[in-house]
Amino acid sequence: MLFTITSGTISSIFAVLFVLLTTSAICCLSAGIRSNIRCLETQKNALLQFKQGLVDNSNVLGSWESEKDCCQWRGIACSNQTGHVTMLDLYYNSSDIYNLETPLSGVIAPSLLELRYLNYLDLSFNNFEGKIPDFIGSLSQLKQLKLAGASLSGPVPPQLGNLSHLYTLDLAHNFVTFENLEWLSHLSSLKYLNMSSLNFSKVVNWPHSISKLPSLVELQLSSCSLPNVDLRSLSFVNSSTSLEVLELSDNFLNSSIFYWMANISTSLVHIGLMGDQLQGLIPDVFSNMVSLTSLDLSYNQLEGGIPKSFRNLCRLESLNLWENKLSDKLQDSIENLSCAQDTLESLRLSGNPFWGPFPDNLTRFSSLKELYIDGTNMSGPLPKSFQELYQLRSLSLVLNQFSGPLPDFTGLSSLRQLFLSKNQLTGSLPENIGQLSSLEFLDISVNSLNGVLTEVHFLNLSRLQFLDVSYNPLSFNLSPYWNPSFQLYSLDMSSCNVGPDFPKWIQTQRKLTALGMSNAEISGSVPNEFWDLSSNLLELNLSMNQIHGKFPNLSSKNCTFFTIDLTSNQFSGPLPPFPSNISNVFLSKNMFSGSLSSLCATQAPELYNLDLSENLLSGELPDCWMQYQALHSLNLAKNNFSGKVPSSLGPLTYVVLLRLHDNNLSGELPPSLKNCTELRVVDLGANKLSGNIPAWMGPSLTNLLVLRLRSNEFYGSIPLSLCSLPALHVLDLSRIIYLEPCHIAFLI
């Protein structure tokens, strides 16, 4: 039978064809568009099961909804060809202070095994419980496995050794354990290995296992309790051509490690051995380390100098020898670095007994950005100029015996930090220091610099934040209306000749947190505007001047004071309430008068030191000391306080030092004092205290070193319990006329 094709059937065939053509076209087109590759149902279900095992308090996995394509979920990536999940990245960013999410916790469910094509798994810095799951060793396509800081514990499963494609393994900062590294040596593709802070103390011959990794590029094993290398067992090192970064800081390694390194040498770019137990001379094993750019040997006990083999290190950019016992003439050591004179950017030599003059060969290192030579035995003059080191950002020469005039710093347009304190520098501060327009920190304190500082010295220092010129015989010629271009955080002009007026320009410094002007020959008063602007001040030290006037009520202002020291001035008038949260108040040797009643108006639960001695304060002591629970030291001596010793001192369980001597206090000592068991020094001499010397002192105040009760009106006998004060060094009971003589054998 023949088909009779009607126009109707033709059009319907065409319609079908058309539909087929267009849908296939769409489907073929979409194959190239990543977003239209949908994830596989089995893998989506596996991920949803994984999610169920997690505790997700901040809904990190909010996008993991079953009706959505799992390739679009947070932390997931799929192959754009097959749709298989290839990446699971739920790394928790703990270093971002703006991260409001909490880390995931719970268990890592075995359903992940369904993600057979996973090549990237990162769960770092979450908060999992339990072991590293064995099944991870079966995710055979894994190339990168990152589980750092994920609170994992228990033994590392040896199955991880099956991950033959792995090139990144990061297990650092967990509580996991392992007996040996046999499993590790199977990871033949491994390039990046981080096991920092894991405990290697029981691992025998760790260098052997590491040596078997032929592709290793970076090895991070800081704080691993790495045991020492036994040189006899060291075998040929297969990673000798690949290893670039070797970080072994904060272990127990001795100098034998140098010989191991010598054999993996040509490729090494960074070596970190900070805080190990390296002793003796630095061995001369660096000849082959031609690629080395960064070497950190700080915080060891290395002796001698920089060895000759450093002459082959022509790419060195950073050398850190901080805190060793290197005692070479520095000039000679620097000579062995000469091949790096165009590359070296950071040189840290502080805390070694290097000696000799400032090495003149050092100024040839034209790339230097940081130079730290603090706390050595070096002396003599500094170079006339640092012009050749025009890239310097930090120069620190603190605590040496450098003498003579300051160098010429012109041309150091990048200099941010200049620390020259604690030397014997003399002469004046050159005016061109004011041209160092990048300067942020300037410390020339504790020298013998003299002369007059003017506005020119600060002309272009608009970035200055920290200025310390203290302990120099310097004077200032600064207009009170000076408006400096900088905003300082910290200013110290102690023991300089600042006065006689309080420098008004300081009021322009609205960010100031610390101001030191002790012993600065100031005899005026502190302008009220200064106190108004003091809202950022944490530390104020105006001691040892002749400043007069009243001390304002700062408690009503929004102050952040931590320490105020106005000792030895002529402040007068009544004591205002203290700012709340203040910790240290030193107001002794002034002329404050009136009563202490303002004390009860403040809540200062952090007050640690209170010294009001040698003022003209009078009246009864207030009975609100429980508001000052943190008090360690209370000195009210040499005033004219009268009445009883208040019983509210009893709750001050941390008080160590109590001085109330030279007042007019009377009556008996309150028994509550026996709670102040931390007391070491109690001086109540020269008052009118009466009653028996309390017997509870012996058994209660067992930490007492000094007890002075002299010149009072106590009566009765000396309690024998004072003999049970095991630490007592000074007991002064003189001039107590009513005291009965007694068996004072224990006083011997």
Ligand X SMILES: *[C@@H]1O[C@H](CO)[C@@H](O)[C@H](O)[C@H]1NC(C)=O
Q: Which residues bind ligand X (CB under 6 A)?
A: 32, 80-81, 137, 158-159, 161-162, 211-212, 214, 228, 230, 235-236, 238, 254-256, 259, 262-263, 285, 435, 437, 459-460, 494, 518-519, 541, 543, 560, 563, 565, 580-581, 584, 586, 618, 640, 642, 664
Q: Closest approach of Cβ 214 to ligand X, in Å?
A: 6
Which C-beta is closer to ligand X: that of 403 or that of 690?
690
Per-residue tokens: 694: 């309390």
Q: Closest approach of Cβ 125 to ligand X, in Å?
A: 26
Q: Closest approach of Cβ 109 to ligand X, in Å?
A: 20
Which C-beta is closer to ligand X: that of 320 or that of 543?
543
Q: First-to-last CA distance in the chain? A: 139
Q: Closest approach of Cβ 581 to ligand X, in Å?
A: 4
**DSSP string of 505-555?**
GGGG-TT--EEE-TTS---SB--HHHHHTGGG-SEEE--SS--EEEPP--T
Which C-beta is closer to ligand X: that of 519 or that of 648?
519
Q: Closest approach of Cβ 352 to ligand X, in Å?
A: 20
Strand order of the sheet with strand 127-128?
54-55, 105-106, 127-128
C-alpha 210/C-alpha 188 separation (Å) is: 11
Exposure of 61 in the CB half-sphere (CA atoms within 13 A) = 23
Which C-beta is closer to ligand X: that of 312 or that of 664?
664
Which C-beta is closer to ligand X: that of 259 or that of 696?
259
**DSSP string of 634-675?**
EE--SSEEEEPPPGGGTT-TT--EEE--SSEEEEPPPGGGGG
* Residue 333, H or E segment: helix 330-335
C-alpha 462/C-alpha 480 separation (Å) is: 18
Q: Closest approach of Cβ 205 to ligand X, in Å?
A: 11
Which among 470, 441, 351 has a CA at the least distance from the CA of 399?
351
b (16+ CB within 10 A) / e for 353-370: ebbbebbeebbebeebbb
Q: Closest approach of Cβ 695 to ligand X, in Å?
A: 30
Per-residue tokens: 262: 């010598």
Rounded to 5°, angle at Cα 245 from 124 and 252: 85
Which C-beta is closer to ligand X: that of 105 or that of 666?
666
C-alpha 256/C-alpha 71 separation (Å) is: 51
Which C-beta is closer to ligand X: that of 294 or that of 519?
519
C-alpha 254/C-alpha 301 separation (Å) is: 10
Which C-beta is closer to ligand X: that of 513 or that of 675?
513
Q: Closest approach of Cβ 154 to ligand X, in Å?
A: 16
Is residue 177 a contact partner of residue 156, using CB atoms and an 8 Å limit? yes
- Which residues touch 51 (CB under 8 Å, ≥6 apart)? 61, 64
Is residue 689 a contact partner of residue 668, using CB atoms and an 8 Å limit? yes
CB atoms under 10 Å from CB of 70, counted, come to: 23
* Residue 186, H or E segment: none
What's the 3-state SS for 354-398? CEECCCHHHHHCCCCCEEECCCCEEEEECCCECCCCCCCCEEECC
Which C-beta is closer to ligand X: that of 196 or that of 609?
609
Q: Closest approach of Cβ 704 to ligand X, in Å?
A: 26
Which C-beta is closer to ligand X: that of 376 or that of 590?
590
Q: Closest approach of Cβ 146 to ligand X, in Å?
A: 20
Q: Closest approach of Cβ 639 to ligand X, in Å?
A: 9
Which C-beta is closer to ligand X: that of 367 or that of 432?
432
Which C-beta is closer to ligand X: that of 75 or that of 405?
75
Q: Closest approach of Cβ 479 to ligand X, in Å?
A: 15
C-alpha 453/C-alpha 332 separation (Å) is: 38
Which among 499, 533, 491 has a CA at the least distance from the CA of 519?
499
